[in-house]
Amino acid sequence: MPRFIRLPELAMRSAPAVLSVSALLAIWEAYVDLAGVPPTTLPAPSRVITQAFVERVALLNNSWPTLQATISGFGLSLAIAFLFSVAIDFAPRLCAALMPVFVISQTLPLVAIAPLIVLWFGFGLLPKILLVALVTFFPMLVALALGYAAAEPEIEELLASMGASRWKRFIVARLPASLPYFFAGLRISITYAVVGAIFAEYAGAARGLGVYILNAKNNFRADLVLAAVLVSSLLTLILFSLAVLVEWLSMPWHRTSRDDRR
């Protein structure tokens, strides 16, 4: 039976996380009730969930622009990261020239750069895509570069002795070796993508979870702010799960060897 449909095993693996989150929510709920904290300061989890259900239509309408910007920006990030990773793998001097620039790009604070990108490119979808790509580009580039370097040199030497070109050796040896690193970077980057889209919307947009959070904050509705945060967290978890699923389906040999070690 395929491992992904073994529900008891899945439940056992998920139990610690479910219990820890449930305990945290229970402590939060009890503290708000016992301390009498007003909902404008710290709403209880039950209130947040209730308001999320009441505002489900507005949250759903604002989630779609955020999701659209996230997926588009992340797709652009993957394409650019792959192209640059191949370029620096074939030209080490290019890596030495460009890598400091890429590192500097990651030192730019989102709070400062998001309003500038919106100012330069307007309030449409483009600035959100660019900001998401900026946030998620570097982890993917580093993951791919490390993955290429992890290829077995014996395999490349064998291919070279058989007359394989540099490009052929890259396709046959280096690219498959990078897959575990690629998916590790994918899981890391996808968690930043939604945050990047929300920051861009927060800086300036017509719709989106960032705009919803800003309006709720200005109205002193902490419960609605946390409801939007809950929705953004769910979007991130869904995208992360999809990345794990794609990894599971794309590398059956890696899955088998990992299961054997267990």
Residue 2 and residue 237: Cα distance in Å, rounded?
A: 23
Residue 169 has pLDDT above 50, yes or no: yes
Q: Which pLDDT score, from 0 to 100, does residue 1 have?
A: 39
Each as own residue / partner, the long-range contacts of residues 249-258 (CB below 8 Å, 24 or more positions apart, any chain) are: 250/179, 250/183, 251/179, 251/180, 251/183, 254/179, 254/180, 255/3
Which residue in this structure is represented by tokens 């039950």? 46
Residue range 192-216: mean pLDDT, rounded: 87
Strand, helix or coil at 219?
A: coil
Residue range 22-45: mean pLDDT, rounded: 89
Q: Lowest-pLDDT range, 91-95, 188-192, 228-232, 234-238? A: 91-95
Q: Which pLDDT score, from 0 to 100, does residue 203 have?
A: 78
pLDDT tens-digit readout, 216-260: 999 899 999 999 999 999 999 999 989 988 888 887 766 555 555
Q: Which pLDDT score, from 0 to 100, does residue 216 have?
A: 92
Q: Which pLDDT score, from 0 to 100, does residue 9 have?
A: 65
Each as own residue / partner, the long-range contacts of residues 85-92 (CB below 8 Å, 24 or more positions apart, any chain) are: 85/140, 85/141, 85/144, 85/145, 85/148, 86/170, 88/145, 89/145, 89/148, 89/170, 89/174, 90/166, 90/170
Each as own residue / partner, the long-range contacts of residues 252-260 (CB below 8 Å, 24 or more positions apart, any chain) are: 254/179, 254/180, 255/3, 259/3
The one-letter amino acid at 100? P
Instruction: Please state the pTM of the whole predicted model.
Output: 0.83
Residues 101/88, Cβ–Cβ less than 8 Å: no
Of 241 and 206, the structure prediction assigns the larger pLDDT to 241
Q: Which pLDDT score, from 0 to 100, does residue 8 have?
A: 67
Q: Which pLDDT score, from 0 to 100, does residue 230 have?
A: 93
Q: Lowest-pLDDT range, 10-24, 63-77, 122-136, 139-153? A: 10-24
The one-letter amino acid at 6? R
Strand, helix or coil at 42?
A: coil
- What average pLDDT is seen over the chain? 85
pLDDT tens-digit readout, 110-168: 777 888 888 888 778 888 899 899 889 999 999 999 999 888 888 888 888 888 888 88
Residue 2 has pLDDT above 60, yes or no: no
Residue 198 and residue 114: Cα distance in Å, rounded?
A: 10
Residue 35 has pLDDT above 60, yes or no: yes
